[in-house]
Amino acid sequence: MAIKVIGSARATCTQRIIAVAKALNVDLEIETLDMANRAHKSPEYIKNYQPFGRIPVLVDGDFQLFESRAICRYLVHKYQNKDTIQLIPEDLQQSSLIEQYISVEMSEWGTCIDKYVYETVFKKMFGLTPDEEKIAELRKAAEQVLDVYNQMLEGKDYLLGDKYTLADICHLPYGQHAYNAGLADVFDAPSRPNVARWWKNISSQPSWQATIAN
Amino acid sequence: MVFKLYGMGVSTCTQKVVMALKEKSIPFDFININVLKGEQKSPENLARHPFGKIPILEDEDGFRIFESLAIVRYIENLEPNKGARLIPADIKTAALVEQWVSSSVYNFYPSAQGIITERAIKPVAGRPTDEAAAVEHRKKLVPVLDVYDKQLAGHDFFVGNDFTLADLSHLPYFNVINRVEGDLIKERPNLAAWFERCTAKSTWLEVMGFVQGAPKCH
């Protein structure tokens, strides 16, 4: 029986999970939740699946799990083996640095890139008006954060060096939206050659391209 | 192996790392970085942490790691069988721990940190509290604490009956909230019992001892 993820193939946090599953060649069944009709806020969904009324939720037999990064780690621990890509390497220092970059993604990247996507993309989806002043501020914040990423990526093709890992995948869903919604020149700026190289390397991964194809 | 920990005694993120080091009985040298004086942005600290923040852990061979939750996972994996098993060996139990850790970052920290900034940090930094902001943070935190109170019913800690990273990732914040808006904890019996259980742990008492002995920052 395939593992099921309740969410939406077009939602950022669901895409994070799909990207991991595709990299590991794991079949996932996506059960699309009717977010437009606020199915994620129904008392039944909150009681049975997600106490905060959010997506995605993983259902693996009688085991349930929410929070996309926790779900990603679970899929890696369950399905990664010597024949698959190593999204979390066994080496203790390497795997700890993956956690460092996932935390950086949540705290530094998230506070500008995710918010930029909310203002420029999601607000339009929800029928709200983007705040231009905020967009300009978030763009400036993204420039500063990507300056630091440029330092962290010096001499590297991926965050961990020469291999594509879970740390890179975690950046893709919001990064892709931001790139498409007006920050391409910030990602590709000549002053940030390491960011430009990294972004090209990770966003061109076949498993990511397959994730956003549908 | 003696580790160097760069941080600040009253910093909640530093306290998470110190508790993990105490759980695993790992000795460390502490280097105080006074955030209230902006020392985290010094060229020396920027060389250690590109975003100019604390805490940072360094070993004798030059391996360096930042971000408190990543540091704690590193410490856990150095000595998984000593002290509390912060990330359980069973992958499903470990996944549930990660679920509540991630949840803390998105559902809990923003408003908890907001209350801490307004009610604990600003008063000692000599800045005025923004009452409206403090009230707004409290309003957002209440439904999260209601979920926690339900989650903590019937067992001792966030995931089952053992203290894990899911508890550790919340504890230093609740410790400050208990001081400034303690009713938020007291009014929720399961959360209050959890808080009692966590703060009675000998390793948490060691953290409090460490905070007392750390250089004063204000």
Answer yes or no: is B73 within a domain.
yes
Together in a domain, B111 and B154: yes
Question: Do B106 and B141 sit in the same domain of this protein?
Answer: yes
Is the domain of B136 the same as that of B41? no
Average pLDDT of span B172-185: 98
**B interface mutation test: which of A103, A166, A194 has the most B CBs within 10 A?**
A103
In whole angstroms, give the CA distance from residue A44 to residue A61.
19
- Convert the pLDDT of each residue in B61-83 to its tens digit: 999 999 999 999 999 999 999 99
Q: Please check whether residue B154 lies inside any domain of the structure.
A: yes
B218 found inside a domain = no
pLDDT at B4 over 90: yes
Contact residues, chain B, for A141 at CB < 8 Å:
none
| Cα first-last separation, chain B | 32
Q: Which domain does B28 fall in, by range?
A: 3-85+203-213
Rounded to the nearest angstrom, the minimum Cα separation between A48 and chain B is 13
- Residues near B64 by beta carbon (within 8 Å), at least 6 away in sequence: B48, B56, B57, B58
What the block records as the tokens of B10 is 């009253």
Residue B124's pLDDT is 87
Judgement on whether residues B179 and B109 belong to the same structural domain of the protein: yes
Is residue B81 located within the same domain as residue B101?
A: no
- Residue B120 pLDDT greater than 90, yes or no: yes
Beta A57-60 vs B64-66: how paired, if at all? unpaired
pTM: 0.96
- B71 and B95 co-located in one domain: no
Is residue B171 included in any domain, yes or no?
Answer: yes
Rounded to an integer, the average pLDDT of A165-174 is 98
Asked if the Cβ–Cβ distance from A70 to B107 is below 8 Å, we say no
Average pLDDT over residues B184-192: 98
Residues 6 or more apart whose Cβ sits within 8 Å of residue B78: A92, B24, B26
> Chain B contacts of A63, Cβ < 8 Å?
92
| Residue B128 belongs to a domain | yes
Got the DSSP string for B91-139? HHHHHHHHHHHHHIIIIIHHHHHHHHIIIIIHHHHT----HHHHHHHHH
| Single-letter amino acid code for the residue at B208 | M
Give the CATH number for residue B68: 3.40.30.10
pLDDT tens by residue, A25-34:
999 999 999 9
Among left, alpha and beta (phi > 0; psi -120 to 50; other), residue A38 is left
Q: How far is CA B171 from CA A26, A159, A161, B20, B28, in A?
A: 36, 30, 34, 12, 21
Together in a domain, B103 and B146: yes
Q: How does residue A214 score in pLDDT terms, banded at 50, 70 and 90?
A: low
The band of A95, judged by pLDDT with boundaries at 50, 70 and 90, is: very high
From B159, A41, B22, select the one nearest B14 (Cα to Cα): B22
> What was the pLDDT predicted at A2?
85
Does the distance separating the beta carbons of A148 and B98 come in below 8 Å? no
Which residues are CB-neighbours of A81 under 8 A, at least 6 positions away? Answer: none
CB B55 within 8 A of CB B68: yes
What is the overall mean pLDDT for chain A? 96
> How near does any CA of chain A get to the CA of B145, in Å?
11
- Give chain A's end-to-end CA distance (angstroms, integer): 22
Strands B28-32 and B64-66: unpaired
Statement to judge: residues B193 and B154 lie in one domain? yes
Residue B133 in any domain: the answer is: yes
Token output for B19: 């508790």
What percentage of chain B has pLDDT greater than the value 70?
100
* pLDDT per position as a tens digit, B167-176: 999 999 999 9
Partners of B105 on chain A (C-beta within 8 Å) are: 106-107
**pLDDT at B146 > cutoff 80:** yes
Number of domains in chain B: 2
Which residue in chain B is spatially nearest to A150 when comparing CA positions?
B50
> Average pLDDT for residues A154-168, to the nearest whole number?
97
pLDDT band at B125 (very low <50, low <70, confident <90, very high): confident
What residue spans of chain A are helical by DSSP H?
A: 12-23, 43-48, 68-79, 92-104, 115-117, 123-125, 132-152, 166-178, 184-187, 193-203, 206-212
Whether B218 has a pLDDT exceeding 80, the answer reads no
Its ipTM equals: 0.95
Nearest to B67 among A51, A70, A103 (CB): A103
Q: What CA–CA distance (Å, rounded) separates B101 from B72?
A: 12
Whether residue B33 sits in one domain with residue B21: yes
**Average pLDDT of the residues in A43-71:** 97
Facing residue for A106 by CB, picked from B77, B105, B147? B105
**Long-range CB contacts for residues A25-34, cutoff 8 Å, separation at least 24:** A25/A84, A26/A75, A26/A79, A27/A2, A27/A3, A28/A2, A28/A3, A28/A4, A29/A2, A29/A3, A29/A4, A29/A5, A30/A4, A30/A5, A31/A4, A31/A5, A31/A6, A31/A7, A32/A7, A32/A8, A33/A6, A33/A7, A33/A8
Domains and CATH numbers, chain A: 3-79 (3.40.30.10), 92-212 (1.20.1050.10)
Q: How many residues make up chain A in this entry?
A: 214
In a domain, B138, yes or no: yes
- Mark yes or no for CB contact A52/B147 under 8 Å: yes
Q: Which residues pair with B32 in a beta bridge?
A: B7
Compare all CA atoms of chain A with the CA of B149 and give the residue at the minimum distance. A51
Partner residue opposite B67 with nearest CB, options A70, A73, A100: A100
How far apart are the CA of B2 and the nearest CA of chain A, in angstroms?
16
What pLDDT is attached to residue A26? 97
Shared domain check, B209 and B182: no
B154: distance to nearest CA of chain A, Å?
A: 17
Average pLDDT over residues B13-41: 96
Rounded percentage of chain A residues whose pLDDT exceeds 90 = 95
Residues B132 and B192 in one domain: yes
pLDDT at B36: 87
Report if residue B166 sits inside a domain.
Answer: yes
* Claim to verify: residue B71 and residue B109 sit in the same structural domain: no
Displacement of CA A18 from its chain's centroid (Å): 10
Inter-chain CB proximity B91 and A77 less than 8 Å: yes
d(CA A61, CA B82): 33
- DSSP letter at B61 equals T
pLDDT at A169: 98
d(CA B141, nearest CA chain A) in Å: 12
